[in-house]
Amino acid sequence: MNIAIVLFDDAEELDFVGPWEVFTMAGNVMDFQKLPLEKPHVFTVSETGGTVRCAKGMRVIADHSFADAPRADLILVPGGQGTRREASNPVMLDYIAEAAKTATWVTSVCTGSLLLTVAGPAKGKAVTTHWGYIPQLRERGENAVVRDDMRFVRDGNVVTSAGVSAGIDMALWLVGQIWSPDLARASQKGMEYEPAPPYQAMV
């Protein structure tokens, strides 16, 4: 099970690190419990395969360039300020469009849904995004609906999540769909992911 996480400059860190942790934790649980399941092979991919500087300054060296990346069963596109630039990058958009043709699941976190929309896979689909970008995505008028009341939205094989931490919830759901709910629950327990925030967001 090849899982490609797309990177670009100014990608939001937790958008991709959260799902990375979920998918790799699922693989660790398979090993620990000796489950006879196909393990996830999670890798990062960027336009050139070089170092990517993320939104908060984290530097990540992508495992592959677009040119040499393995075929992905699942593609995940994060958000962040870099999506506004990448929405006009034909190399990025071509990679997403081509990878989506053979992927079983096409996913995004935060404003990654903008790239899925411009590249084509999410065009005409129900999607969500970070709450702060919902008006802009709606204004484009390219999606069937832009939901503002859900952590993640599935429309066919396209799954988009709201911002930042919502990608963890989406990834856990995907583990449940691809493998089993029991594996998703064990992965969540392994991560000690039990959200109980001390502050409620006041907007």
177 CB-near residues (< 8 Å, 6+ apart): none
Cα–Cα distance, 14 to 19 (Å, whole number): 8
How many residues can be counted in the chain? 203
Query: What contacts 174, CB < 8 A, 6 or more positions away?
Result: 74, 105, 107, 159
All structural domains of the chain with their residue ranges:
2-191
Give the bridge partners for 160, in sequence order.
Answer: 108, 153
Angle at 52 between CA 46 and CA 56, to 5 degrees: 130
pLDDT per residue, tens digit, the chain (203 aa), is 999 999 999 999 999 999 999 999 999 999 999 999 999 999 999 999 999 999 999 999 999 999 999 999 999 999 999 999 999 999 999 999 999 999 999 999 999 999 999 999 999 999 999 999 999 999 999 999 999 999 999 999 999 999 999 999 999 999 999 999 999 999 999 999 998 888 776 65
Q: Please, are residues 89 and 111 in contact by the beta-carbon 8 Å criterion?
A: no
Q: What pLDDT is attached to residue 199?
A: 79
Catalytic pick among 22, 110, 119, 159: 110
Enter the pTM of the model. 0.96
The answer to whether 52 and 11 have CB atoms below 8 angstroms apart is yes
Indicate the fold that domain 2-191 takes in CATH: Rossmann fold (3.40.50)
Cα end-to-end span (Å), the chain: 40
Helix (H, G, I), strand (E, B) or coil at 3: strand
Tell me how crowded residue 57 is: count the other CB atoms within 10 A of its CB. Answer: 7
**Is 110 a catalytic site residue?**
yes
Three-state SS sequence of 38-91: CCCEEEEEECCCCEEECCCCCEEECCEECCCCCCCCEEEECCCCHHHHHCCCHH
Cα separation of 202 and 167, whole Å?
21
The per-residue pLDDT for 198 is: 81
